[in-house]
């Protein structure tokens, strides 16, 4: 009998298989047993990279800009339909960020809006490289700004201060300083050939065959739902934030973590239609950070900064497929127990057509490296000279961001 293609996972098959008396070998991995020496610093930093290009205009929304509704079209969110949580008479959080809005009102979240890297590019490859190498040009260094920070703080073979979370190590974490890695365990999907062979084995056993049919049928019904991609990315992010809280609260654990959250390249069905992408992503972002906050003891939270960045923003106007295309400026968030939060830091450029970059993008008024530089100096007490010459070359003349 030909079986339909499914997204049946080995975990799901095993759950049904145990009911049928089947035993399948599975390998599960939890948090690794990493041995750390005494950490030379107590301050913590978690850098969350929203890969794909976050639409900052739909995340922390400038609903008070007089051109917001006309320029955003069907992507415009309305303050009277509960899609926005106003934090001032100009800015509002997307309603999917309810937890972060609460932390903002407690003074634990600051937003830096109309921010971007200094090199104008709409290429994911170049923009991500630029943000991670910490310079003003893509491909100018092969090491990352976080790895160089770890080196300055005393990370070496005896002190593993950095941890990279995700399927591969980020460029920001590559370099001479020792860094460990962790990724959520994921069981590979069961192949169709495997299912067919199992079905043939038990075709004369009515109870077993019917249980297998039910398992396949339940999963087949969900095949084709594109929302599963962003749901999986969101769940992985939440898992990684929980794991990071566990790692960083260890007395001799790592002090700097880098986490990737994929899926923000919202060209299609960004906000509306069947299974819109951005609301689910923002909800997972909110849950992951709130979970991290809840699982971190208050004394450690007061020594922690969570820094949320993205490679670029999106076009101001929607495209023809209900989404947005690659833009220029977006926004960053800084979250922590001792920051000067409860504010949106920006020199707002405006959304009038003649104020847009190249007539299509939110213009950048803040170099993201100024945020990174201020963070390193104020949070870790790293001298400006080391930041300018080693960690973020050429950043000395950038203005400080007064949120630390």
pLDDT of 123 over the 80 cut: yes
Contact 316, 363 (CB under 8 A): no
240 vs 17: which has the higher pLDDT: 240
Q: Cα 394 vs. chain centroid, distance in angstroms?
A: 27
For 177-216, how does the pLDDT look when each residue is reduced to its tens digit (9 = 90+)? 999 999 887 644 454 445 555 555 655 666 655 665 555 5
CATH number of 36-187+227-391: 3.40.720
pLDDT number for residue 3: 38
For the four alpha carbons of 260, 266, 271 and 274, in that order, the dihedral sign comes to: negative
Q: How far apart are CA 99 and CA 238, in angstroms?
A: 14
> What confidence tens digit (pLDDT) does each residue in 89-122 have?
999 999 999 999 999 999 999 999 999 999 989 9
pLDDT at 81: 75
Neighbouring residues of 203: CB distance < 8 A, sequence distance ≥ 6? 1, 209
Backbone angles phi, psi at 231, to 5 degrees: -60, -45
Structure-model confidence comparison of residues 80 and 110, the more confident one: 110
**How sure is the predictor about 230, in pLDDT bands with cuts at 50, 70 and 90?**
low
**Cβ-Cβ contacts under 8 Å for 329 (sequence gap 6 or more):** 56, 114, 115, 116, 312, 313, 349, 357, 361, 362, 363, 364, 365
Q: Select the highest-mean-pLDDT range: 28-32, 232-236, 315-319.
A: 315-319
Torsion of CA 280, 286, 292, 293, to 10 degrees: -160
The pLDDT value recorded for residue 232 is 85
Residues 351, 327: Cα–Cα separation, whole Å: 13
**Residue 206: per-residue pLDDT:** 63
Q: What is the pLDDT of residue 4?
A: 39
Per-residue pLDDT, averaged over 316-345, amounts to: 98
> What residue has token string 């979370």?
165
Query: In the chain, what is the greatest distance between 2 CA atoms, to the nearest angstrom?
Result: 77
Pick from 107, 125, 127: nearest CA to 116 = 127
Q: How much of the chain is helix, strand and coil, in % rounded to 5?
A: 35, 15, 45
Q: What is the pLDDT of residue 208?
A: 58
Tell me, what DSSP letter sits at residue 96? Answer: G
- Give the pLDDT score at 212: 55
Give the residue from 340, 368, 341 showing the smallest Cα distance to 56: 368
The token pair that represents 378 in the structure block:
């104020």
d(CA 171, CA 126): 12
- Mean pLDDT in the chain? 85
DSSP annotation of 333 reads: E
Backbone dihedral region for residue 144 (phi beyond 0: left; psi -120 to 50: alpha; all else: beta): beta
State the first-to-last Cα distance of the chain, in angstroms, to the nearest integer. 65
What per-residue confidence (pLDDT) applies to 224?
39
| 8 has a pLDDT exceeding 50 | no
Long-range contacts of 351-356 (CB under 8 A, 24+ apart): 351/62, 351/65, 351/67, 351/68, 351/71, 351/316, 352/67, 353/67, 353/71, 356/316
Tokens standing for residue 192 = 């169709």
Spatial distance between the Cα atoms of 253 and 223, rounded to a whole number of angstroms: 41
Instruction: Say yes or no to pLDDT of 137 above 80.
Output: yes
Tokens 């495209």 found at: 319
- In tens, the pLDDT along 335-359 reads 999 999 999 999 999 999 999 999 9
Please report which confidence band the pLDDT of residue 16 belongs to, taking 50, 70 and 90 as the band edges. very low
| 3-state SS, one letter per residue, for 127-159 | HHHHHHHCCCCCCCCCCCHHHHHHHHHCCECCE
**Domains of the chain: which residue ranges?**
36-187+227-391
Contact yes or no for 370/401 (Cβ under 8 A): yes
């Amino acid at each position: 009998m030909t079986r339909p293609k499914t997204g049946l996972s080995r975990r799901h098959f095993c759950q049904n298989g145990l009911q049928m008396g089947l035993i399948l070998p599975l390998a599960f991995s939890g948090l690794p047993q990493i041995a750390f020496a005494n950490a030379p610093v107590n301050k913590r930093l978690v850098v969350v990279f929203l890969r794909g290009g976050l639409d900052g205009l739909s995340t922390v929304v400038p609903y008070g800009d007089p051109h917001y509704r006309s320029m955003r079209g069907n992507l415009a969110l309305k303050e009277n339909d509960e899609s926005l949580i106003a934090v001032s008479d100009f800015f509002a959080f997307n309603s999917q960020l309810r937890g972060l809005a609460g932390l903002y009102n407690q003074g634990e979240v600051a937003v830096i809006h109309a921010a971007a890297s200094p090199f104008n590019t709409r290429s994911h490859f170049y923009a991500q490289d630029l943000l991670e190498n910490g310079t003003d040009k893509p491909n100018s260094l092969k090491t990352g700004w976080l790895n160089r920070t770890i080196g300055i703080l005393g990370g070496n073979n005896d002190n593993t201060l950095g941890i990279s979370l995700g399927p591969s190590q980020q460029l920001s974490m590559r370099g001479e300083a020792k860094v460990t890695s962790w990724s959520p365990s994921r069981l590979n999907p069961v192949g169709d050939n495997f299912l067919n062979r199992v079905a043939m084995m038990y075709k004369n056993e009515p109870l077993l065959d019917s249980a297998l049919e039910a398992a396949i049928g339940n999963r087949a019904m969900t095949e084709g739902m594109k929302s599963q991609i962003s749901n999986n990315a969101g769940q992985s992010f939440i898992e990684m934030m929980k794991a990071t809280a566990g790692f960083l609260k260890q007395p001799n654990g790592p002090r700097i973590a880098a986490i990737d959250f994929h899926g923000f390249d919202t060209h299609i069905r960004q906000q509306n239609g069947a299974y819109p992408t951005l609301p689910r992503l923002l909800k997972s972002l909110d849950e992951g950070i709130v979970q991290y906050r809840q699982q971190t003891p208050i004394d450690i939270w007061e020594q922690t900064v969570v820094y949320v960045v993205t490679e670029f923003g999106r076009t101001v106007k929607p495209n023809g497929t209900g989404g947005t295309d690659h833009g220029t400026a977006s926004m960053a968030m800084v979250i922590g127990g001792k920051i000067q939060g409860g504010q949106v830091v920006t020199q707002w450029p405006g959304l009038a057509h003649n104020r847009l970059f190249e007539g299509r993008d939110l213009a950048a008024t803040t170099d993201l490296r100024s945020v990174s530089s201020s963070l390193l100096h104020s949070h870790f007490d790293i001298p400006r000279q080391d930041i300018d010459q080693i960690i973020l070359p050429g950043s000395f003349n950038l203005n400080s961001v007064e949120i630390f």
